[in-house]
Amino acid sequence: CVTGLSVRHTGEHFQRSNDTISRYFRSMCMAFSSQTFYTKYVKLPSTLDPPPQYLHCSQKLWPFFEKCLGAIDGSHVAASPSAKDWANTRDRK
């Protein structure tokens, strides 16, 4: 999951079929996104949390993050672009 390897490469590394790798990957995704796991282990930051120390102490980064409330990291944001902008936003992270 973390390395970004394909199912084929992962199956080759662990000597398992692509179907087996896909099946277990889906079951892991379901387990990690379940309500019981998510509410117990995922803690979202609040607006009152201080920024990370490495940002606060960096003269290079701090001017850009000084007034930042949070960051979108690996999140999908629902968007409804106009027909004119649709091609520019397709398949973008």
Buried residues in 46-75 as b, exposed as e (16+ CB within 10 A):
eeeeebeeeeeeeeeeeeeeeeeeeeeeee
Terminal Cα-to-Cα distance of the chain (whole angstroms): 17
Q: What is the pLDDT of residue 18?
A: 93
For 32, the token pair is: 């990690």
**75 Rama class: left (phi>0) / alpha (psi -120 to 50) / beta:** beta
- Reported as a single tens digit per residue, the pLDDT across 15-73 is 999 999 999 999 998 998 899 998 898 877 777 777 778 888 888 888 888 777 665 66
Of residues 90 and 11, more confidently modeled: 11
Q: What is the pLDDT of residue 71?
A: 59
User: What's the pTM value of the predicted model, to 2 decimals?
Assistant: 0.47
